[in-house]
Amino acid sequence: MSNTVSANLFNKNLRRNISADLPAPLYHQLYSLIKTFILNGSLHHGEKLPSEQELAELFDVSRITAKRAVNELAAEHLVERARAKGTHVIYKYSPKPVQAPLVGVLEEIDSIAESSTATVLECAQLKPPQSIGDEFDLKRGDTLFHLIRTRERAGATFGYFDSWSAGVKVPDSTDIFIHESRHKYFRESGMAVSHVKQTIGAIAASPIIASHLNIEAGAPLLSLVRRSYHQNGEHEELVDYLLALYNTELFQYQMDLKLD
């Protein structure tokens, strides 16, 4: 097949899902399969689909069946056909944010803190890097509350947490962060959060982070950036920025969402 990605997607096991024994017409089964790959981002914008003949051979269907499936995709503006150039994906996938109640997010934060033990590596009022300062819209010389911790459970360090917060003073003792979340201290300090935005990704552990998590440099880490906002009139103000890095062998991020 001319397209390596498509060849990997349309593997032998998956091809068995296209069957004349199923109630839906063959063209619709093939159309639905490819559509799913396009909508979930497995087939990217600009990627070339197998030709009608290749699809027919892959799924053991007629070329007419393959053509009708591709025609359906084109009719929904998911793909575009061009003579001598083949069929390409024109749908642009973008991940949709998951909507979850704020109270659920904050309960989850408190739960992790209560079931683990923190080691505070830094706790001070500092001038942040420019990228962080720009997000908070700080003026020259302004400082933020900077807190770096690791957390462990059952003797294993599972996470590294680096945060910058506005309107919070350095506490008299860092012991308050050992078994409690930062947000408990923030709430007691008067910080009001109305909106939380989380971005989850993956990065490789730097030598410094690896040493704190007792893993090899370059090991995969789950990365979570959490931005917390306060509603000030018609505008939202960033009040807390957290970078959390998790050892993927010890930590999984699970969300249990229920439909209203």
Contacts for 184 with CB less than 8 Å, ≥ 6 apart = 110, 113
- The answer to whether residue 109 scores a pLDDT higher than 50 is yes
* CATH class for the region spanning 102-247: alpha beta
Would you kindly state where each structural domain of the chain is located, as residue ranges?
4-89, 102-247
Q: For residue range 34-49, what is the model confidence (pLDDT) as tens digits? A: 888 788 777 788 888 8
* CATH class for the region spanning 4-89: mainly alpha
The whole-number average pLDDT for the span 141-145 is 92
Q: For residue range 169-199, what is the model confidence (pLDDT) as tens digits? A: 999 898 888 877 787 888 888 888 888 888 8
Q: For residue range 145-163, what is the model confidence (pLDDT) as tens digits? A: 999 999 887 778 888 999 9
Torsional class of 96: left (φ above 0), alpha (ψ -120 to 50), beta (otherwise): beta
CA distance 65 to 49: 15
User: Per-residue confidence at 258, pLDDT binned at 50, 70, 90?
Assistant: low
**CB 76 within 8 Å of CB 34:** no
Residue 131 three-state SS: helix
For 205-253, the DSSP string reads: PPHHHHHHHTS-TT-EEEEEEEEEEEEETTEEEEEEEEEEEEETTT---
- The answer to whether residue 260 scores a pLDDT higher than 60 is no
Closest CA to 120 of 173, 185, 189: 173
- pLDDT of amino acid 162: 94
User: Per-residue confidence at 95, pLDDT binned at 50, 70, 90?
Assistant: low
> Considering Cα of 131, then 137, then 140, then 142, what sign does the dihedral take?
negative
Instruction: Give percent of the chain above pLDDT 70.
Output: 81
- pLDDT of amino acid 160: 93
Distances, alpha carbon 19 to alpha carbons 10, 11, 85, in Å: 14, 15, 29
Instruction: Give percent of the chain above pLDDT 90.
Output: 28
- pLDDT of amino acid 4: 45
The whole-number average pLDDT for the span 211-215 is 91
Closest CA to 34 of 58, 171, 142, 165: 58
Instruction: Name residue, tokens 């790959």.
Output: 37
Question: Any idea what DSSP says for residue 173?
Answer: -
CA distance 120 to 113: 13
Token pair for residue 128? 């942040």
- pLDDT of amino acid 256: 62
The alpha carbon of residue 78 and the mean position of all alpha carbons in its chain are separated, in whole angstroms, by 24
User: Per-residue confidence at 125, pLDDT binned at 50, 70, 90?
Assistant: very high
Token pair for residue 191? 């910080």
